Structure 1
Amino acid sequence: MHSKTYLILLLIPVFLFLGFQSLEEKAAPADPWPEITQTAKPWTRWWWMGNAVDEQNLSMLLDEYARAGLGGVEIAPIYGAKGYEDRYLEFLSEDWLNMLDFTVQKANSLGMGVDMTQGTGWPFGGPQVSVENAATRMVIQDYEKRNGVPFTDQIAFEKRRENQHNAELIAVMAYDQQNQAEEITAHVDKQGKLNWDKEGDWKIKAIFLDKTGQMVKRAAPGGVGFTLDHFSKSAVNAYNSHFEQALSGKDYGFRAFYNDSFEVYGADFTRDFFDEFEKRRGYDLKEFLPFLESEENNEKVRRIKSDYRETINDLLLNNFTENWTAWAHEQGKLTKNQAHGSPGNLLDLYAAVDIPECETFGSSYFPIPGLRRDSADIRNVDPDPIMLKFASSAAHLTGKNLVSSETFTWLGEHFKSSFSQMKPEVEQAFLAGVNHIFYHGVTYSPEDVPYPGWLFYASLNLTQQNSLWSHFDGFNDFITRSQSILQAGNADNELLVYWPVYDVWAEPKGKMEMITVHAVDEWLHPTAFYKQSKKLMEQGYSLDFISDDMIQNSRTKDGLIATSDSNQAKVLIIPDTEFMPAETLGNILKLAETGAKVIFQSKPQSTPGFSPKGASDTTFHQLWDTIDFVSGQAKVGNGQVILSEEIDQALMDLGIYRETLVDRGLDFIRRKTADATYYFLVNHSANSISDELLLNAKGKSVVVLDPLTGKAGEIHAQIENQKTRIKLHLKSGESLFLKVMHHEGQVELPDWPDYQQASSVLDISSDWKLTFDKGLPKLPAAQNLNKIAPWTASKDPDAADFSGTGSYTSEFQLAKSAAKQYVLRIDKVYESAKVWVNGEFAGAIWSIPYRLDISKHLQNGENTIKIEVANLMANSIRYLDRAGIEWRNYHEINFVNIDYKPFDASNWETMPSGIEGKVEILEFD
């Protein structure tokens, strides 16, 4: 960092590791922070535009990324910039592989990691995907045969476009007036003539195996081709084999293969689907196609659709996700996968890979005073943190340490996203269990490409040419410190909440049920599962979601439900559920027999799926009837089953208590290590919180750790009824970690300061000089300020167009007392500030509240202060567009705004830049 004093404040020894690893080792006795590893640092998706990469720029950029505090990159080849075609490399060519090898070697030398998208653009696909192995859809064409009237139609596939491949006829079915089916495929000749004349009126359905025709989106050179059929094991094997062969020349030491969210549009079928369906569900789906096509809300339609969707899930899970992960392990690689967007059970799909990855898309509303959120600069999307918990739950329950997130996708309009806006969004992800941040993203941009460099149309675009880049390290340090704790030990969640996926699969609308981030209002929000989970979290309970398969793989140990060797929970909760397999109920009762505690909000209504002989719930009801409830409670073996609409009251009856700190407006997540329980506390409310808190974890002492600055200190704690009472002060927008120590004498730290009430205030807002250090389009003239103000408040047009860094300098007198703490407070910072006091770097101010403890850098008497401010790129981009300077010129999709319309910043207002309001030094006793 910038000074020895700051390093002492940080109290973080930095060790660089080459591989991803779990942080379970105990920190050094004198250091309350876990050690910093490669995965504790944030990583980024790294867009290789046109694969136009070379050793010189790769080396330069990786050096920049390492200096900024990034822990790794995820290579994602995409389309290129126009005019640079001579630099393009074909994906997986010898030249491309040489660049991959160079990247990994260079990253290793810097202690950074590398992941690789298994393809270009998204989803999986490319020129190696044959028509046979391409994404497939079921097309059903309808005909009618009237009694006694010759059938003259030709049964032939009707193309949607001239260049479409001929679809293959799979089967022809006839249905009478009662929808009784008869297969008549054998009666259709090669010319499509039907030679069948059975008495009666019949509906004829011809089933074709068609290709969706979808090509890889945003493909890079050498990556253009069909999207893969994810439901076909042979297609997936062929796809993997292509990479195995291409990478066989040497050991390219990247960590993991990566798969983006499932965006395979219209794919709902595969060649052997009907055979797989009959093998797994026990009947021939072809006989019931009228019900699969219907959207009538009746039981038969819902049950058949549920069976269809469950089969699609099985094929995706078995033939793609599990198969892909097993293959990657054979290659010595991990898998990182986004399950959302797919038609499958998200929990099981996430659990089938090494690193489950979720996604933050859009901008959340936080009532933090002063937090900028212009409606014109955000998408009409309200991210739901509960959606993120599907990935973290899968990781927690299966003993996987890392939960990654594609973070800040379309957080705001290009060039207008600040660190202060990013902080609560990433904190919300942390609270949902994410602990391995991937930025979306950073674009490879060569040194010789003019400002603003190459940019990806949907990214945050924190590149080396961004005016915030020189301040990026402060934000990365915040994430690194946070993740060093969030990757330590294990999640400490006491509740398991059953996700009734069969209720989702029984939706009568449509054929496929795509479980996407953007449709949570349809498949998630209306459910009792969501409402109960949200209510329990708001009441102060910690929870994970559990699937049917996860229940089957759990066991009971010492009265706890062990989902893996590293994860135990106190109780299993079944919210109001319409469909539950009898096997799942049987597995739940087996857990109870051996000591587990289970709460049913109500009795599940039925088993899922359809039986041609009539849906039978006999086994389920027989199992349920073995539970001998007395006043809603039953002893089952060594365990207990409770039937209660009031889940919170049932939890209290079981002695499972909530964290009451949420009543103060705090959000939290817990981790547990061998020697401590960590609390991550966040104040996203509109008010400061200063109150006594009662923590459920019992501790001998409590350490406060500030991820923003690295500062640590001990706070007074009292044991009260096996809990720990502390008093803490958190302003709106602040977050802290608490380390509740299980043993005494582990660390020796100063007392944590009480920042609640300042004893005096020194206003230093007057007499400042402003100079400009670096930026574009040109450096404005220096300014002498009677009162500190934004540089955009002047009438200087150069200052209005400027994006870069400007430095405010001043002097002040202070009567310093060694026994007191001194905090620099700034009303508003646009957008990030680095502070030097008496020539020593004191820290960064980039988030609300704009405060920094500068006690150790002050001296009695005269002091100097320098505040370097970096603003947004918005003003300089506006200048480029107003001046008609072309900077966006890309193949496939050109640069678009947040509404996917052509980007134009020429009509933007000037974004405030610099410092506004008062600058004060607060003194605390």
Structure 2
Amino acid sequence: MYKIVVSCFIAFLLGLNAPYAQVNKLKTGFVHPPNSAKPGVYWYFMDGNMSAKSITEDLEAMKKAGIGNLVFLEVNVGIPRGPVDFLSEEWQNMFAHAVSESKRLGIEITLGIGPGWTGSGGPWVPIGQSMQHLVSSTINVSGGSKQPIVLPVPPPKPPYFGEGAFSPELKKTWTDFYEDVAVLAYPTPAIALPKIKDIDEKALYYRAPYSSAPSVKQFLPSVTEYAAGPAGAIDKSKIIDLTGKLKPDGTLNWVAPEGNWTIMRLGRRNNGAITRPAPVPGLGFEADKMDTVALNAHLDNYVGKLLRKTGMPKPTDAGGLKKLHMDSWEMGSQNWTGHFREEFIKRRGYDPLPFYPVYAGNIVQSQEISERFLWDLRQTAQELVLENHAGQVKTYAHRNGMELSIEPYDMNPTADLELGALADVPMAEFWSKGLGFNSSFSVVEATSIGHVNGKSLIPAESFTSQDNEGWKQYPGAMKNQGDWAFAAGINRFTYHTFQNQFLPDSLRPGATMGPYGVHWDRNQTWWPMVGGYHDYISRCSYILQQGRTVADVLYLTPEGSPHVFRPPSSAMDGDVVLPDRKGYNFDGCSPGQLYTASVKNGMVVFPGGASYRLLVLPAVKTMTPVLLQKIKSLVNDGAVVVGMPPVKSPGLTGYPACDIQVSDMAKVIWGTLQEPSAQTSRSYGKGRLIWGGDIDKQINDLYPEYELTAKLLLSMDIEQDFTSNGQLRYTHRTTGDTDIYFVSNRTDQVVKTTASFRTVTGPPQMWDAITGKITSLPEYSVKGQLTSVSLKFAPYQSYFVVFAKGNITASAAHKNFGENAIVKTLSGAWLVSFDPKWGGPKNIKFDELTDWTLRPEEGIKYYSGTAVYHKEFDLPAQTQKAKKLYIDLGTVNNMARIKLNGKDLGVVWTAPWRIEINKAALKKHNKLEIQVINLWPNRLIGDETKPDDGIQNDAWPQWLVKGLPRTSGRFTFSSYKFYSKDSPLLKSGLLGPVTIQSEF
């Protein structure tokens, strides 16, 4: 009995201490983030330009700077070919060296599943196992007598990206490949056949990139009402299958009956997709995305070959090969595979053969029947891609000790959320604002997938850019967009791109990926200081990987493909590139994901822990019976569902009974199919349905206006999760007894406000990811569900506001944020040291702080790199008792490291541009050293006044090839030219004013 009592008492004490232990664990990870929280890079190699030395130097630079993971890809963009042929024995040895070095350094490698930056293919893919289209040719004949009938070979569809990327050998193979599939004949309609609009898109011949091509449809509308059947439709009952009568030479052994007949010859051809932009030895056809045999053969020829060289990944390895990766879908669509007809019959329950004419845009039976067949065609294609491609890659990865990450967009012929839901690690991509395309929608997609599926890691290919980037970006300039991504749900940045720097270290900024990418590599001017920024990113990422995101609204996407999930535009605030969430957060959910949901305490919940108060249906009046049955089950169990009832099924499976089944079930759930003129609430089982009136009046979106769902939540006594003066963005995560809010100032102005948080878990603390410091926020109040906190932000500043039972409450006499006073301005002359190797003077006196580009010395005007400012100063007597002393740098272009009296105080890279100096300051004779780094453009622009000795006619210069002295007088060398001698220079240097400040 004594032992039982003691055990219970210990358990009771442990339970009391659990919140404290949890908070302490969070604090430890926040101050010293683990490797899993560190950012990553896309590590690009350029068509054989590589060496073991450059691989090691790149990886060691990553490790030193705080990078913990990378995506390995080899491409061919804008650089002359190198000596190491892709996948040769030498290349494989270098890859093995990279894996070995990454293990030594604890850096995780994610391997793209094919050459190039997208897709899965190569020269080893036989064209019979490549992506395919069903193509056709048509002739008309008059029957009633025996006559020779010769059917022309159907031509291929033009490749989406054109034929220019084909090698002569690939072009010939593509042109020659053809295999017959079927021959169909039908009486020629007396009236010319009408054509189905947008048939190339609906039949999956083409899917343009949603992010970059104009007018690409977000989804293909599912229609329930069609005009009366058009004259000239093909009578399905009169279609004759003549496949067995076709001879190899294209003649048809058939005598057409009396009347006019149309004969279609249908066959399979390659869709024109090849690896892109692949190294020349990796150029080949994309493997069939619907066939496991083709996929596994490809994987064995690429990934398998590398695994045989490197050995199987081990879970105990801190680094090395850990994941496979499917990047953005850019290989186009396919609508055929060798077993497509059999799979269609198995999955849809009917034979597609009589509907083959619909592939060519012809109407069989009626417009509605043909459109419903096309829906089934796309659904079958989607299922085959998901199961036989993405699903099989995942199986292959797991079998070999790895995980799979997927970017489920951009020319994706399936529904983005359905493809991404298969990933172990769903991934997004966002482009640098103003330097490329707007793919912010992919962030919403990937974070939705991750939240619904309970994934702790949701990375993004980050700050992709093109053309005008030219080394202009740096951590401070990227702060606002990075914080937007964090608030949107991203919790790991994978910077695009770290170009392998295979050129000699003296040639900087060195190799680029042509015009693409923010240059996140060891040749950046500011690379020696980037670790301070990476610490911030790692701390944010660590906290945002804990627990789960809090969201109130779940938007269900329609069935069918393709589909790009977009919430109602009114649910987002801010500009179109950086859209922020409003006070009620949301996620999107695919039908495939919804099947795993259940209801608990009136909320829709998922196995991974995500829960939502409202399930909002899309404004689509078609739904399959199986999905409607799931909706019925959720409402019956207590879910609150917003949306109108469906009236039909979208496809032909079980037709026409499927339509009756849907309408009958919908009547049971909604009570009627007649849309009410006013908003209506109906109880069903333990749950409710809300529909009618403005709720169903979508203008440009699939979903109701945000304000309408917000009113519904308020009517349920659910307050907004976060409110402020409108200048802040947020995201909210919860883990155990801790609520974590990331809050960011999205303006370039100081912001003071009182913000409201929907939590009463405990007293608030500020966790500053810049410094790693945690401080109490004693100025707060609690009312009902809400805690209000007084907050202050510098321009673009961010921090975490953490509420936990384990938090210590500070004295209410203290303020959340102190006020600063300038106690000394460091005016007058500065001694400045530039690096003579880059053209600057070793020592020079600046009478006052000034922009380098305004100086008369060319070596300073065009200087790029590090300069060191020196100054000695005394502290005023009144500062000796100051609680905190800071040095504030004022304006800095672009990063700075501060040393005082020989002590390294750290790097400043964003506002507030200051650092605490209490532990280093002396009363007299303080020796201040400020290292300031600017960007590459100024030196590149200055060098454009000198002879061009760079790449000419796609060839390296002879002085570089032969190791000769360089005579142009240029300081820089780059594989891509962004600037001319007339390009504007960028402000550079320490502009100040530099002040000593005390906090009171």
Asked if the contact 1:462/1:468 (under 8 Å) is kept, the reply is no
Q: Which residue of 2 aligns with 1:723?
A: 786
Asked if the contact 2:646/2:662 (under 8 Å) is kept, the reply is no
Q: What secondary structure does 2:30 align onto?
A: coil
1:442 to 490, 498, 518: 498
Using a 3 Å threshold, how does the CA distance of structure 1 residues 292 and 34 change in structure 2: closer, same or farther?
Answer: farther
1:363 to 417, 433, 437: 433
Using the TM superposition, give the Cα deviation of residue 901 of structure 1 relative to its aligned residue in structure 2, in angstroms.
10
> How far, CA to CA, are the matches of 1:752 and 1:713 in structure 2?
11
Using the TM superposition, give the Cα deviation of residue 540 of structure 1 relative to its aligned residue in structure 2, in angstroms.
0.8
Q: Report the more deviating stretch, 266-275 or 29-38.
A: 29-38
Q: Report the more deviating stretch, 878-887 or 832-841.
A: 878-887
Q: Which amino acid aligns with 1:114?
A: I
2:869 to 797, 808, 814: 808
Q: Which amino acid aligns with 2:569?
A: K
> How far, CA to CA, are the matches of 2:26 and 2:592 in structure 1?
42
Q: Unaligned stretches of 5+ in structure 2?
A: 1-20, 159-170, 190-232, 314-319, 574-578, 696-707, 958-974
Structure 1 residues 251-306: Cα deviation after superposition (integer angstroms, max 9, x where no partner): 24511111211111353432222332233223344433454444999655543332
1:303 aligns with 2:372: yes
Asked if the contact 1:729/1:756 (under 8 Å) is kept, the reply is no
Using the TM superposition, give the Cα deviation of residue 479 of structure 1 relative to its aligned residue in structure 2, in angstroms.
0.7
Q: Which residue of 2 aligns with 1:165?
A: 176
1:530 to 568, 584, 593: 568
- Count of aligned pairs between the two proteins: 857
Q: What secondary structure does 2:57 align onto?
A: helix
Q: Which residue of 2 aligns with 1:38?
A: 35
Q: What secondary structure does 2:152 align onto?
A: coil
> How far, CA to CA, are the matches of 1:42 and 1:165 in structure 2?
47
Identity %: 23
Q: Report the more deviating stretch, 799-808 or 195-204.
A: 195-204
What value does the CA root-mean-square deviation take over the aligned residues?
Answer: 3.4
> How far, CA to CA, are the matches of 1:43 and 1:667 in structure 2?
25
> How far, CA to CA, are the matches of 1:905 and 1:606 in structure 2?
62
> How far, CA to CA, are the matches of 1:751 and 1:41 in structure 2?
38
Q: Which residue of 1 aligns with 2:709?
A: 647
Asked if the contact 2:893/2:987 (under 8 Å) is kept, the reply is yes
Q: Which amino acid aligns with 2:38?
A: K
Q: Which residue of 2 aligns with 1:467?
A: 525
1:349 aligns with 2:409: no
Q: Which amino acid aligns with 2:586?
A: L
Asked if the contact 1:592/1:638 (under 8 Å) is kept, the reply is yes
> How far, CA to CA, are the matches of 1:741 and 1:758 in structure 2?
29
1:456 aligns with 2:492: no
Aligned counterparts, 1:459-498, within 5 A: 459-498=517-556
> How far, CA to CA, are the matches of 2:305 and 2:722 in structure 1?
57
1:214 aligns with 2:210: no
2:662 to 620, 635, 653: 620
Q: What secondary structure does 1:814 align onto?
A: coil
Q: What secondary structure does 2:37 align onto?
A: coil
> How far, CA to CA, are the matches of 2:333 and 2:556 in structure 1?
29
Q: Which residue of 2 aligns with 1:711?
A: 773
Using a 3 Å threshold, how does the CA distance of structure 1 residues 139 and 260 change in structure 2: closer, same or farther?
Answer: same
1:413 aligns with 2:410: no
Q: What secondary structure does 2:462 align onto?
A: strand
Using a 3 Å threshold, how does the CA distance of structure 1 residues 323 and 428 change in structure 2: closer, same or farther?
Answer: same
Aligned counterparts, 1:108-147, within 5 A: 108-121=103-116, 122-146=118-142
> How far, CA to CA, are the matches of 1:611 and 1:119 in structure 2?
36
Asked if the contact 2:23/2:804 (under 8 Å) is kept, the reply is no
1:587 aligns with 2:636: no
Q: Which amino acid aligns with 1:356?
A: P
Asked if the contact 1:642/1:650 (under 8 Å) is kept, the reply is no
Q: Which residue of 1 aligns with 2:10?
A: none
> How far, CA to CA, are the matches of 1:652 and 1:675 in structure 2?
25
1:599 aligns with 2:642: yes
Q: What secondary structure does 1:254 align onto?
A: strand
Q: Which residue of 2 aligns with 1:553?
A: 596
Structure with greater Cα Rg: 2
Structure 1 residues 29-51: Cα deviation after superposition (integer angstroms, max 9, x where no partner): 87582652212011111112334
Asked if the contact 2:725/2:755 (under 8 Å) is kept, the reply is no
Q: Which amino acid aligns with 2:668?
A: T
2:487 to 426, 431, 447: 431
Q: Which amino acid aligns with 2:760?
A: K
Asked if the contact 1:180/1:287 (under 8 Å) is kept, the reply is no
> How far, CA to CA, are the matches of 1:761 and 1:202 in structure 2?
96
1:283 aligns with 2:342: no
Asked if the contact 1:576/1:604 (under 8 Å) is kept, the reply is no
Q: Which residue of 2 aligns with 1:8?
A: none
Q: Which residue of 1 aligns with 2:14?
A: none
1:244 aligns with 2:304: yes
Q: Report the more deviating stretch, 478-487 or 250-259.
A: 250-259
> How far, CA to CA, are the matches of 2:423 and 2:944 in structure 1?
45
Asked if the contact 1:580/1:607 (under 8 Å) is kept, the reply is yes
Using a 3 Å threshold, how does the CA distance of structure 1 residues 189 and 255 change in structure 2: closer, same or farther?
Answer: same
Using the TM superposition, give the Cα deviation of residue 471 of structure 1 relative to its aligned residue in structure 2, in angstroms.
1.8
Using a 3 Å threshold, how does the CA distance of structure 1 residues 321 and 420 change in structure 2: closer, same or farther?
Answer: same
Using the TM superposition, give the Cα deviation of residue 192 of structure 1 relative to its aligned residue in structure 2, in angstroms.
1.1
Asked if the contact 2:78/2:513 (under 8 Å) is kept, the reply is no
> How far, CA to CA, are the matches of 1:141 and 1:892 in structure 2?
46
Using a 3 Å threshold, how does the CA distance of structure 1 residues 158 and 586 change in structure 2: closer, same or farther?
Answer: closer
Q: Which amino acid aligns with 1:434?
A: I
1:694 aligns with 2:756: yes
Structure 1 residues 7-66: Cα deviation after superposition (integer angstroms, max 9, x where no partner): xxxxxxxxxxxxxxxxx9754487582652212011111112334444433333222111
Using the TM superposition, give the Cα deviation of residue 559 of structure 1 relative to its aligned residue in structure 2, in angstroms.
3.2
Q: What secondary structure does 2:321 align onto?
A: coil
1:665 aligns with 2:722: no
Q: Which residue of 2 aligns with 1:75?
A: 72
Using a 3 Å threshold, how does the CA distance of structure 1 residues 67 and 388 change in structure 2: closer, same or farther?
Answer: same
TM-score w.r.t. length of structure 2: 0.79
Structure 1 residues 126-184: Cα deviation after superposition (integer angstroms, max 9, x where no partner): 12211111222232223333466967553224467655223112112334423124233
Using a 3 Å threshold, how does the CA distance of structure 1 residues 129 and 286 change in structure 2: closer, same or farther?
Answer: same
1:636 to 684, 690, 705: 684
Using the TM superposition, give the Cα deviation of residue 697 of structure 1 relative to its aligned residue in structure 2, in angstroms.
1.5
> How far, CA to CA, are the matches of 1:704 and 1:95 in structure 2?
52
Q: Which amino acid aligns with 1:240?
A: L
1:391 to 435, 440, 446: 446
Q: Unaligned stretches of 5+ in structure 1?
A: 1-23, 365-377, 506-512, 516-522, 895-899
Using a 3 Å threshold, how does the CA distance of structure 1 residues 643 and 711 change in structure 2: closer, same or farther?
Answer: same
Q: Which amino acid aligns with 2:568?
A: Y
> How far, CA to CA, are the matches of 1:721 and 1:812 in structure 2?
53
Q: What secondary structure does 1:844 align onto?
A: strand
Using the TM superposition, give the Cα deviation of residue 731 of structure 1 relative to its aligned residue in structure 2, in angstroms.
2.8
Using a 3 Å threshold, how does the CA distance of structure 1 residues 919 and 392 change in structure 2: closer, same or farther?
Answer: same
Using a 3 Å threshold, how does the CA distance of structure 1 residues 135 and 571 change in structure 2: closer, same or farther?
Answer: same
Q: Which amino acid aligns with 1:393?
A: S
Using the TM superposition, give the Cα deviation of residue 382 of structure 1 relative to its aligned residue in structure 2, in angstroms.
3.3
Q: Which residue of 2 aligns with 1:204?
A: 263
Q: What secondary structure does 1:353 align onto?
A: coil
> How far, CA to CA, are the matches of 1:41 and 1:680 in structure 2?
18
Asked if the contact 1:554/1:563 (under 8 Å) is kept, the reply is yes
Q: Which residue of 1 aligns with 2:283?
A: 224
Structure 1 residues 69-109: Cα deviation after superposition (integer angstroms, max 9, x where no partner): 111222212349977744x1541x54444333332332233
Q: Which amino acid aligns with 2:128?
A: E
1:832 to 884, 895, 898: 895
